[in-house]
Amino acid sequence: MGKTGRTNQIYTEDFKKRAVKLYKEGKKSYKTLAEELGLRSSTQLKNWVKKVNEGESFEDLRGRASGNTESNPLKGRNKTNFNSIEEERDYYKAQVEYFKKAVSKSTRGGIIPKSRRFEIIIELKVRYPITWLIEIGQVSRSGYYKWLKTRSIRENKQTKQRLLKSHIMAIHHTYPFYGYPRMEVALKEEGFHINHKKVYRLMKELNIQAEIRKKRPFFGKKPSVIYPNLLNRNFKALKPDEKYVTDITYIQVGDSFYYLSVILDLYNNEVLAWSISKRNDLELVLNTIDQLTQKRNVYGAILHSDQGFQYTSKSYNKRLKELGIQGSHSRKGNCLDNACIESFFSHLKTEKLYRSQFKTEKELIQVIEEYMYLYNFKRFQKKLNQCAPVEYRITLAA
């Protein structure tokens, strides 16, 4: 391993000649003389002596073209034997035309890839013999015909890749919150079985990525004074109707605000009940609970919420006792204790509400109904083995 911080030392031609002269006139070894001259290695001195003995120059030719260094833009293995003046004229004419096309297609500092050279040969082969063009392009005859034979395969591959990119763009426009893992699953559902690394690369080429939700801040850790935190951030449920989470979020419609209350089953993240109102009051919460009891057997289940005034009221606590539900509260001011429902509201807003136009309550309810159906029946989740919540519940129940 080379030492860090070192830079290459450049020695003048006079210095090299003097070093060689000292070696030849004296009786010192390469190593001893190198140390006296301050050389890093005796190998440098050996190389200089060898060059002098072989009659070579000390000039550094690295990075320069070998052989003829004259500037000749008409590259290629020049043909020297011609049958006629016309043939010689046509050959040089082909050389000039090839050079013009090569300059227009050059990349990476003037380097012409072989595939580009083959394309130029195809364009010019109508007017000039293949043997000339192969010489001028500095390619082999077998390489050219191999490239020509596999051309259709490459074109088919490019066509398939363009089709794949169009599907990725279509999915991105519909679900702009999909990253490459979800995009891979969505493509498989459409019949494209490809590796996630390829999906990542194509999305990078298309300059698209998932929209990132804003992270919420973390607050203090004061214990609840109403119900103990039975959930305690254990968001995994072993069976349906074991653990519920609930919360309220607000939605702006013009100059007005609407409040959405939702209850989620932690077993499969399914939305079991939701209710919307212009008032953020106790009635909104109780209506949501009533919807839940009409669909599920809630006796013995845990219903977790934050310490909002609705969830700490006497009427709310009375209703839970009547239904046999165990109440659970987050620590005060700590939204991470109810992270699952907070995450759901974030998905709802970024994936649907912020992308929809609604001016009335009726339009808002329609938009929310569409997303609830999408979320429960269509939107697959990694936690659920790439299944939608309802599909996951039905599959395990079968």
The pLDDT tens digits of the residues spanning 61-71 come to: 554 444 443 44
Residues 174 and 246: their CA atoms lie apart, in Å, by 28
Domain regions of the chain by residue span: 13-53, 85-149, 152-205, 243-397
- The string of pLDDT tens digits covering residues 206-221 is 999 887 766 666 554 4
- Assign domain 243-397 to its CATH superfamily: Ribonuclease H-like superfamily/Ribonuclease H (3.30.420.10)
Average pLDDT on 257-264 reads 95
- The string of pLDDT tens digits covering residues 127-137 is 888 888 888 88
pLDDT at 1: 42
C-alpha distances out from residue 193 to 96, 132, 164, 169, 239, Å: 47, 45, 11, 17, 33
Range of lowest pLDDT (26-40, 209-223, 241-255, 256-270): 209-223
pLDDT at 68: 43
* 130 contacts: CB under 8 Å, gap ≥ 6: 121, 141, 144
Residues 153 and 190: their CA atoms lie apart, in Å, by 23
Dihedral angle of Cα 134, 138, 140, 141, to the nearest 10 degrees: 0
> Is the pLDDT higher at 106 or at 18?
18
Is 327 within 8 Å of 303 (Cβ atoms)?
yes
Residues 190 and 171: their CA atoms lie apart, in Å, by 10
- At which residue do the structure tokens 């929209």 appear? 211
Is 341 within 8 Å of 264 (Cβ atoms)?
yes
pLDDT at residue 342 greater than cutoff 80: yes
pTM of the model: 0.52
Q: Report the run of H or E that residue 188 belongs to, with start and end.
A: helix 180-189
